[in-house]
Amino acid sequence: MRIWVTGIGVVSPLARGAGETMDRLLAGDRAVGSLALFHLPGSRVDIAAEVRDLRVSAVAPGGDAEGWSRTDAMGVIAAREALAQAGLDPRGAAVDLILGGTTAGMFETEAPLAELSRELLPDASTPHFIPPEAVAPLRRMLSHPLSSTADHVDSAAGPFRQVRTVCSACSSGANAILLAAAWIRAGRSRAVLAGGADGLCRLTYSGFGALAALSPEPCRPFDRRRAGLNLGEGAAFLVLEPEEAARARGARPLVELRGWAVGAEANHITNPEASGETAARVMLAALARAELSPADLDYVNAHGTATSLNDSMETAALRRCLGADADRVPVSTCKGQIGHTLAAAGAIEAAVTAMAIARGVLPPTIGLEEVDPACVLPHVTVQRPARIRAAMSNSFGFGGTDTVLVLAEVGAFPAPALAPTRPVVVTGAATVGPLGVLGVEGSRAYLDPGPEPSPGPIAFQASAHLDVARARRLDRAGKLTTTAIARAMAEARLEMAPRAITEAITEAITEAITEAITEAITETATRAERIGAVVGSAFGSIEGCTAFMRRVYDKGPKFASPADFPNLVPSSPVGHASIYLGLRGPVFATCDLEASAESAIATAVELLGAGEGDAIFAGSVEEASPMIERCLGPICSGITDRGARSEGAAVLLLEAEETAVRRGARVLARVAWWRSWRSAGTGGPRPLAEAPRPSSPGTCAVFLGRDDERVRRALEGSAWAEVPRRSVAARAGDHEGAGGFAAAAAVGALAAGEIESALLLGLAPDRGYAVLLVRPSTETT
């Protein structure tokens, strides 16, 4: 099966438009200049690659601009361009949207949030609830959640059938494309608009500054004198379609998306692994997925940030992956021209790689004059024509999630084989919440009547569960997440293969040897490379972000905390868990307001089904936060009568059925069906109409974070409307991640034989997720 790229849209600091951006990249133009968007007094660096003359009000629907961010506007412009080129109108066709992001409306909200948060500090004289209607600028907060960019792309360029937001720091955009490929290969999508968008903001600017990662001059990728990166901003989307569907509607392909892979370094929260081992492993996996070898590659679009550590690591990884071909395959990066556009980078660079193949031209690396001896590769410094049969695009993120995409000329290689979608099972669950650290059986307690949790933080002693010396960099969300995953992992007896064996596999020369070793060890253990984690959070680390920005405003950017900054990206909790526990498979965050847990669970099921990992922990984490409780929560969810919010983390352990059975895992439930939807994009029958009918009455239940009017409306007309509903918010805390607790409790009830099937239902404004878990039939237990 071939996946065609039929449309490309780009907003970059060089130009609005994919073709115009490519023209200027080929001309060697640079967009790095004085920072005009904001001024940070006392900052040691004052340059960036900005998207100039961007008017949010020109893009946002009438009167809505106040709740929109620059990120949103860039996303919409790029989305419209990609859809127009593909000749696809989401109003008349089922199109899905996946967006990678890290900052969304941070630029628009960082100052007001920092100010508001002062009033909510414990020592503030009069902490008070801020009524949403009282302060006009509070509408601006609508642009804060990471999911708001996808929401706004949905409203201005959609409606889309389903929408997903993913974050893995600087590889976010590439992971959006990877997930789109998984959807298409599984036959779940006939068209996906996938990409990334990220705007400049004071938080990332002072954060990268604190890490001494910003170059005071236009950056020099792979150069001996390189002194860090330039930050940029932008957005890009690709329209991806299965060949058959695209042909059927008469669309023309630009290039093929052939390969993709994601893996975590599990090394360090900011520093890449010096050996490049993981990056090389992921590159090889992407080539294997593409059914190509290094000899087939004619171009590599490097991550090439121009930091000292990245460029030498990436060179080492390329040499490791490509072998002798590393001296032949031309390499370039566009970061010297448009800066590092963070979550958008993976998508913009996939777009540039696609255009390089389609046009038959190698774009240059600008800023490279004297190649560092640690970075010797066939660098392209002036554009030149070349036939590119296949090319690889690298993206590496903070926290260590490496993602590689392989694109190819249309029809240059035989169509890759299509592996069947793998069934997924649940083999574990754990919660860290008001009732303590609990496994499968214990988590059922959240279904029992009992007292409401006390508001604020839960009584959680990290030292009782984690090696505090090794966990010293983990913030609260990181500790809660890591503890929940560790608990589920131990209880499900998911054992990791010793490192020496996995290294032997990395070094294995042939596929046959790799398979033989894998076969031998999977009897008892799972390779760390095949274990991942996807954890959702509605608002990320909002208390951490406001504390960081208060310091920047009060003391100046040079006193921004380097140690705190990496904890502010939404994928930080899951990144920390991956480092602490050594999980080296797919690791990223999802964000979708109060349905973030269900969003993570659905994403994990899709990744496992497509063969991205064999075991993935999926759920949610929410920290106690006065800012969310009193400001962001009510504004973004529209719910003002919540019970005690509390906090916690909850995960399921999901595994591909074949590998779970092979390792002798106890299968607690099977994922029988799942679906995510947007109200506007579904159009036809109600989303739950297609759900399998519940088993006999009294043996099934709908599991919910919170039960309210929205639930009744979503179930209306479906066979599940009359089924008992069980919600956990009154015990677990009425927070955005309560759905994760409901999922764990459901698994507990299934494992105990209380019920035969459980429908997990996660709802937030205009969106929903449903996952049907059923008790395994006797022959599989």
Which pair of structure tokens corresponds to residue 144?
């804060």
In one-letter notation, the amino acid at residue 683 is: G
- Binding flag, residue 210, other proteins (CB under 8 A): yes
Segment interacting with other proteins (CB under 8 A) among 23-31, 396-404, 510-518, 555-563: 555-563
Q: Which of residues 220-259 bind other proteins (CB under 8 A)?
A: none
* One residue of 55, 225, 252, 555 binding other proteins per CB under 8 A: 555
Cα distance between residue 389 and residue 385, in whole Å:
13
- Binding flag, residue 473, other proteins (CB under 8 A): yes
* End-to-end Cα separation, the chain, in angstroms: 34
Q: Which of residues 720-739 bind other proteins (CB under 8 A)?
A: none
Cα distance between residue 406 and residue 390, in whole Å:
7
- Binding flag, residue 212, other proteins (CB under 8 A): yes
Taking the least distance from each CB to other proteins, the nearer of 213 and 286 is: 213
- Binding flag, residue 211, other proteins (CB under 8 A): yes
Q: How long a stretch of residues is the chain?
A: 781
Taking the least distance from each CB to other proteins, the nearer of 435 and 560 is: 560
Q: What are phi and psi of 665, to 5 degrees?
A: -70, 150
- Binding flag, residue 472, other proteins (CB under 8 A): yes
- Binding flag, residue 558, other proteins (CB under 8 A): yes
Return the C-alpha torsion angle 241, 592, 574, 177, nearest 10.
10
Question: What region does 642 belong to: left with phi over 0, alpha with psi -120 to 50, or beta?
Answer: beta
Cα distance between residue 389 and residue 328, in whole Å:
14
Taking the least distance from each CB to other proteins, the nearer of 327 and 467 is: 467
Residue 340 known to be catalytic = yes
Cα distance between residue 181 and residue 228, in whole Å:
33
Segment interacting with other proteins (CB under 8 A) among 78-86, 248-256, 267-275, 438-446: 267-275
- Pick the closest to residue 750 from 705, 706, 707, 700 (CA basis): 700
Choice among 144, 167, 170, 591 that is catalytic = 170
Segment interacting with other proteins (CB under 8 A) among 63-71, 158-166, 209-217, 253-261: 209-217
Taking the least distance from each CB to other proteins, the nearer of 308 and 383 is: 308
- Binding flag, residue 458, other proteins (CB under 8 A): no
**Non-local CB neighbours of 343 within 8 Å, separated by 6+ positions:** 100, 101, 102, 103, 167, 169, 170, 172, 173, 196, 197, 198
Cα distance between residue 122 and residue 547, in whole Å:
13
Choice among 144, 167, 334, 340 that is catalytic = 340
Segment interacting with other proteins (CB under 8 A) among 58-66, 73-81, 404-412, 552-560: 552-560
| Cα-to-chain-centroid distance, residue 246 | 27
Residue 303 known to be catalytic = yes
**Non-local CB neighbours of 494 within 8 Å, separated by 6+ positions:** 427, 428, 526, 531, 615, 653, 655, 663, 665
Cα distance between residue 330 and residue 348, in whole Å:
19
- Binding flag, residue 40, other proteins (CB under 8 A): no
- Binding flag, residue 561, other proteins (CB under 8 A): yes
Find the shortest distance in angstroms from Cβ 357 to other proteins: 38
Find the shortest distance in angstroms from Cβ 562 to other proteins: 4
Taking the least distance from each CB to other proteins, the nearer of 74 and 231 is: 231
Taking the least distance from each CB to other proteins, the nearer of 183 and 460 is: 460
Cα distance between residue 688 and residue 625, in whole Å:
33
Find the shortest distance in angstroms from Cβ 708 to other proteins: 40
- Binding flag, residue 271, other proteins (CB under 8 A): yes
Cα distance between residue 59 and residue 65, in whole Å:
8
* One residue of 126, 463, 510, 777 binding other proteins per CB under 8 A: 463
Q: Do 451 and 732 meet the contact criterion of CB atoms below 8 Å apart?
A: no
Choice among 152, 303, 576, 735 that is catalytic = 303
- Give me the 163-202 binding string for other proteins, x by CB under 8 A, dash otherwise: ----------------------------------------
- Binding flag, residue 418, other proteins (CB under 8 A): no
Find the shortest distance in angstroms from Cβ 234 to other proteins: 28
- Binding flag, residue 268, other proteins (CB under 8 A): yes
* One residue of 269, 297, 605, 701 binding other proteins per CB under 8 A: 269
Q: Which of residues 366-385 bind other proteins (CB under 8 A)?
A: none
* One residue of 382, 415, 468, 689 binding other proteins per CB under 8 A: 468
**Non-local CB neighbours of 773 within 8 Å, separated by 6+ positions:** 426, 669, 670, 671, 672, 746, 747, 750, 757, 758, 759, 760
- Pick the closest to residue 317 from 336, 302, 296 (CA basis): 302
State the CB neighbour count (10 A cutoff) for residue 560: 24
Taking the least distance from each CB to other proteins, the nearer of 457 and 562 is: 562
Find the shortest distance in angstroms from Cβ 29 to other proteins: 30
Q: Which of residues 579-608 bind other proteins (CB under 8 A)?
A: none
Residue with tokens 């009438």: 62
Residue 636 known to be catalytic = no
Positions marked active-site: 170, 303, 340
- Chain contacts with other proteins (rule: CB under 8 A): 210-212, 268-271, 463, 468-469, 471-473, 555, 558-563, 566
